[in-house]
């Protein structure tokens, strides 16, 4: 884990100081997810999704020839 400094208003800082350890941990997790999502490119998720689907189809026996045949059917 690494630490960063985030500036907040005085009211939020005071609430943080008096919050329980459990509440601070919950907020840490939420803030961590928000930061991760803010720096991910939406297209990354799309390509990861396609990779997962392709691997699943391959694991279930779908070949490239079968896929092309299905796509070229009228």
Instruction: Round the CA-based radius of gyration of the chain to a whole number and report it.
Output: 22
Q: How many CA atoms lie within 13 A of 24 on its CB side?
A: 10
From CA 44, how far away is CA 36, in angstroms rounded? 13
Q: What residues does each domain of the chain span?
A: 10-39, 42-71
Q: What is the pTM of this model?
A: 0.52
> Mind listing the pLDDT tens digit for each residue in 23-74?
999 999 999 999 988 887 777 778 888 899 999 999 999 988 998 888 888 7
């Amino acid at each position: 884990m690494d630490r960063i400094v985030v500036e907040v208003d005085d009211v939020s800082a005071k609430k943080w100081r008096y919050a329980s350890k459990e509440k601070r941990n919950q907020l840490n997790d939420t803030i961590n997810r928000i930061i991760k999502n803010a720096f991910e490119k939406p297209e990354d998720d799309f390509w990861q999704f396609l990779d997962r689907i392709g691997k699943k189809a391959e694991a279930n026996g779908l070949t490239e020839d079968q896929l092309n045949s299905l796509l070229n059917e009228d």
